Structure 1
Amino acid sequence: MKDIILKAENISKQYRLGQVGTGTMAHDLNRWWHQIRGKENPYLKIGDTNDRSTKGTSDYVWALQDINFEVERGEILGIIGKNGAGKSTLLKILSRVTAPTTGSIKFGGRVASLLEVGTGFNGEMTGRENIYLNGAILGMTKKEIKSKIDEIIEFSGCERYIDTPVKRYSSGMYVRLAFAVAAFLEPEILIVDEVLAVGDAEFQKKAIGKMQDISRTGGRTVLFVSHNMAAVKQLCTRGIVLENGKVVFDGETIDSINYYLNLNKIKSAENTVLISDKHRKFKTTKEIQILAITLLNPLYENCFTSANPIRLNFKVEFNKPIKCFRIAGSIFTSDEYKIGTFFTNNTENYENAKVLNLEVSLIDHNLSRGSYYFAFSIGNGDEEVGNNEYDIVYELLPFEITHKEDLKTPINKWPKDWGNIYFQSKLTNG
């Protein structure tokens, strides 16, 4: 049996644009009149989807719409999505800072939240006094708080300023103390928004380690929102992706990250990219230009195995006679980590050609499950010569590795800590 500690059912949140509060007195009276007659709120039937980049037709917007998910005890759930997707609104509802327009949430334990710098602290009170205040809000006795206070102060690294009013703290010190309070006062559910990004690298590493520790050894649940995909990948055991106020993906952490990072990477039907200036981050020499790149593997079969080469076609234009050139490329994971680079042989005697179609095959790439993309360059092949690149293009041809024919372990069970490369090996008797 699953031990469900948090269950969100049909959560929706509606806001009225351009107004402070829920609307006019006329709207409130209309809601009341429908309510006493046992009818549905009339304003639930209207409103636009939460797409911040488009102009809507209604004064009402659904910041969240029909959100459903469950969280098990001890699980670390990552909630990711673009700015305006509804992540902070969801966390405020889960923290009971605001109420949902429709739906309900069932909790199986005490909730502590760290939503933004300053939430829950009184600026006029000292750090020590705020620790006692937050503990009391969480329902702890003074004796319980006193038994934890030394650990909280030590973890926060703010001991020298602990008896100073927190209004004099830097934002980094503020969030250090706030996280320490939230983590050490033993809530069953800890909710952490992007606020950790305010801390330095040492503190972020420390905080992630603490969240892993309280989940594994304390059996406590963490809901974590961040735009730092490396932190989400390291910390979370599961992820959900929000887009325009709706859950569009719920699954394993690495799959959630790949889905999120590929939201805006739309492939053409022919697996061909026509190169334009948007693919170049800086001006190139134009002696040679890449006009188009095509993924030659059959359409909808870009699910390669280690025995299945990746085949690419380059359409290249020569604007002056070139004696020597070569093509280079790099493969990146969807979270922008470069995992490897290739170079073709130097190619000579193309002085008279105007436009060429060149094919490149990547053999024995041994990539494990995941989402990837390319960057390419074409240059004169001489690393000793400065400015040896004729053309460089970025973030092209996203593709997926979803299975491996030569592994006994199905690729959908490939653990995320095995990395991106499968090394082929052979055992012999010495």
Structure 2
Amino acid sequence: MSSVITVENLGKRYSLANTAAPAYSTLRDVMADAARRFLRREPVIEARAAKDFWALRNVSFEVREGDVVGIVGRNGAGKSTLLKVLSRITSPTEGQARIRGRVGSLLEVGTGFHPELSGRENIFFNGAILGLRKHEIRARFDEIVEFAGVADFLDIPIKRYSSGMKMRLAFSVAAHLDPEIMIVDEVLAVGDAEFQKKCLGKMQDISGSGRTVLFVSHSMQTVTSLCSRCILLDRGRIRKDGTPSEVILEYLGGDGEFSGRADFASQGKVVGDDDVQLLYGEVIDENGRATLEVDIRRPVAVRMGFRVRRRSDIAFIPNFHFVIPGGTYAFVSTPDAPVSLPPGDYEAICHIPGDFLNEGSYFVGLAITSYTEGPVLHFFEQSALTFNVRDPMEGSVGRHGYVNVMPGVVRPRLKWTIEETR
């Protein structure tokens, strides 16, 4: 497919003026200060040179028709600035962004609305900006109003709307006027849970119809579910561009190196003691291939290679520690019983069934312990592996049409019975 967005060496610079004047002063303050300096013959303190701040620098990428691209990064990384440049709200300092197609943007709450116009007038106003004729807007008008839930307030000026009402109407207008490219900043946090569900469902419909979506979010689960590609911004530059799983794990891992496989032996890294040594670890799919991402409905396994270095009576307990971002333990898993092993190389595999883990990212710590007169930790490599569980939103446990983020660390498929009691 052809590219509908082409960004080349894009940069946006802001000047941060550093003056000795107070942040706010009245006309009386200014005149009094000038008179005081004149009478005392004090020199005028000139403003110091402005400092340059690059919100974006050397940003280049292409988006093809039908792509759903998530943009993630910490606060101040340049995400919102990038969307404003692409939406033509602000111009770049350097480089260029070429866009082919009609763009519908949902950025800050109220952006694109005239505060003095009514909700009804703003719908037609936004449609005209998108290049639609009146009869085209009328054909979608009822659907826009019903989705936004503002039918009783259509003839009231937008300035009297609450932030939630503005956001609902703005999203509805942007989504229903059939833009070929939809650009959405994370303003959905303003809406209630029910409306967030409607928004996510609508965005899925838009992406499923072959239109292009750029989506900024701090919700990694939402990005994983909606997006086919992800871009990580860091201090105004692209740090990683790839699949949602690769980018999210890079984002959550900070400056560390995380992957679905870690080969300690080949790296010359000795992890363990005189009794047992960690060789490698990997996350594997149902076909035995190393993976960074697994479908929530499919099984996944964690495999650990280790070497027993000498003969002993020690009964080893391999154990895997599953942790979610933020440090909360999901669970720890061990075999049914400790094992006594002669010297040699071994593999321990923990099998996790499909429809057990919830969507999201997991870090896996690899350990072997033993217990004789007391607990002994032979090795524990924290967050040695990472993988991401993706929810395709169709056919997964617990959805039944629900499209918002599912709470919880696990989401098991359990046996239920429903019986009539009388």
TM-score with structure 1 setting the length: 0.62
Looking at structure 2, the residues matched to 144 and 95 of structure 1 have their Cα atoms a distance apart, in angstroms, of 22
Aligned to 2:193: 201
Is the CA contact 2:225–2:390 (under 8 Å) kept in the aligned structure 1? no
In structure 1, the residue matched to 2:240 is 249
- Which of 110, 133, 142 is the aligned partner of 2:134? 142
Q: Give matches, 1:330-345, under 5 Å.
A: 330-332=321-323, 340-343=331-334
Q: Is the contact between residue 10 and residue 95 of structure 2 (CA under 8 Å) also seen in structure 1?
A: yes
- Give the corresponding residue for 1:4: 3
Deviations 1:340-365 (A, max 9, x none): 54257799xxxxxxxxxxxxx85333
Indicate the residue corresponding to 1:297 in structure 2: 279
**Residue 235 of structure 2 is aligned to residue 236 of structure 1:** no
Cα gap change, 1:371 to 1:201, in 2 (>3 Å): closer
Q: Which residue of 2 aligns with 1:184?
A: 176
Per-residue CA deviations over 1:21-74 (Å, capped at 9, x if unaligned) read: xxxxxxxxxxxxxxxxxxxxxxxxxxxxxxxxxxxx992222111111111111
Tell me the alpha carbon deviations over residues 301-333 of structure 1, each in whole angstroms, 9 at most, x when there is no partner. 6566869743799xxxxxxxxxxxx99864145
* Aligned CA distance change for structure 1 residues 119 and 312 (closer, same or farther; 3 Å): farther
One-letter amino acid of the structure 2 residue matched with residue 215 of structure 1:
S
Equivalent residue number for residue 166 of structure 1? 158
In structure 2, do the counterparts of structure 1 residues 415 and 401 end up closer, same or farther at CA, with 3 Å as the change threshold? Answer: closer
Q: 1:396 to 1:176 in 2, by over 3 A?
A: farther
Q: Distance in 1 between matches of 2:305 and 2:50?
A: 49
Contact 2:70 / 2:215 at 8 angstroms: preserved in 1? Answer: yes
User: Which deviations, in whole Å up to 9, do the C-alpha atoms of 1:334-392 show, x marking residues without a partner?
Assistant: 69897654257799xxxxxxxxxxxxx85333599x96324799xxxxxxxxxxxxxxx
Deviations 1:213-241 (A, max 9, x none): 12322x32111000011111111121111
Aligned in 2, Cα 1:106/1:337: closer, same or farther, shift over 3 Å? Answer: farther
CA spacing shift, 1:415–1:261, aligned 2, 3 Å: closer
Deviation at 1:111, TM superposition (A): 1.2
Residue in structure 1 matched with residue 383 of structure 2 by the alignment: 397
Please say if residues 366 and 384 of structure 2, whose CA atoms lie closer than 8 Å, have aligned partners that are also in contact. Answer: no
Q: CA deviation at 1:159?
A: 1.6
Which AA in structure 2 matches 1:236? C
The aligned counterpart of 1:323 is none
Deviation at 1:253, TM superposition (A): 2.0
1:8 maps to amino acid: V
The superposition leaves residues 95-130 of structure 1 with CA deviations (integer Å, 9 ceiling, x where unpaired) of 111111111111111112111111111223221111
**Residue range with higher mean Cα deviation, 168-177 or 229-238:** 168-177
Alpha-carbon distance between aligned partners in 1 of 2:172 and 2:89, rounded to the nearest angstrom: 21
- Give 1:143 deviation, angstroms: 1.6
Measure, in 2, the Cα distance between the counterparts of 1:131 and 1:189: 18
3-state SS of paired residue (1:7): strand
Gaps of 5+ in 2: 20-48, 259-263, 290-301, 308-316, 339-346, 355-359, 368-380, 397-409, 411-422
- Equivalent residue in structure 1 for 2:215, among 224, 239, 244: 224
Total equivalences in the alignment: 319
- The one-letter amino acid paired with 1:150 is D
Q: 1:335 to 1:79 in 2, by over 3 A?
A: farther
SS at match of 2:71: strand
User: Does the CA-based 8 Å contact 1:249-1:256 persist in structure 2?
Assistant: yes
Per-residue deviation at 1:186?
Answer: 1.4
Q: Which amino acid aligns with 2:190?
A: V
Deviation, 1:183, is 0.8
1:153 equivalent in structure 2 = 145
Higher deviation after alignment, 199-208 or 110-119:
199-208
Q: Tell me the distance in 2 between the aligned counterparts of 1:195 and 1:295.
A: 49
Distance 1:338 1:205, change over 3 A: farther
Contact 2:250 2:257 in 1 (8 A): no
- CA RMSD between the two structures: 4.6
Distance 1:107-1:304 versus aligned 2 partners, 3 A rule: closer
CA distance in 1, matches of 2:158, 2:383: 50
Q: Is the 1:304–1:400 Cα contact (8 Å) retained in structure 2?
A: no
Is the aligned partner of 1:365 residue 2:365?
no
Counterpart residue identity of residue 350, structure 2? D
Displacement after TM superposition at 1:88 (Å):
0.7
Relative to structure 1, the CA distance from residue 85 to residue 312 in structure 2 (aligned partners, 3 Å threshold; closer, same or farther) is farther
Contact 1:304 1:310 in 2 (8 A): no
Partner in structure 2 of residue 310 of structure 1: 304
Counterpart-to-counterpart distance in 2, 1:271 and 1:209:
47
Closer, same or farther in 2 for the Cα pair 1:163/1:328, shift >3 Å? farther
Counterpart AA for 2:248 = I
Within-5 A mapping of 1:406-425: 417=392
* Cross-structure match for 2:69: 77
SS in 2 for 1:194: coil
TM-score (normalised: structure 2)? 0.63
Conserved 8 A contact 1:112-1:138: yes
Q: Which residue of 2 aligns with 1:261?
A: 252
Q: Percent identity?
A: 45
Amino acid at match of 2:214: L
Shift in alpha-carbon separation, 1:193–1:374, aligned structure 2, 3 A: same
Please name the residue that 2:58 is paired with: 66
Shift of 1:295: 8.8
Instruction: Give how far 1:296 is off.
Output: 2.4
Q: Is contact 2:115-2:157 (8 Å) kept?
A: yes
CA distance in 2, matches of 1:337, 1:220: 38
- Distance in 1, matches of 2:244 and 2:169, equals 28
Q: CA deviation at 1:94?
A: 0.3
Q: In the aligned structure 2, how far is the partner of 1:371 from the partner of 1:203?
A: 25
SS of 1:178's equivalent? helix
CA distance in 1 between partners of 2:277 and 2:254 (Å): 20
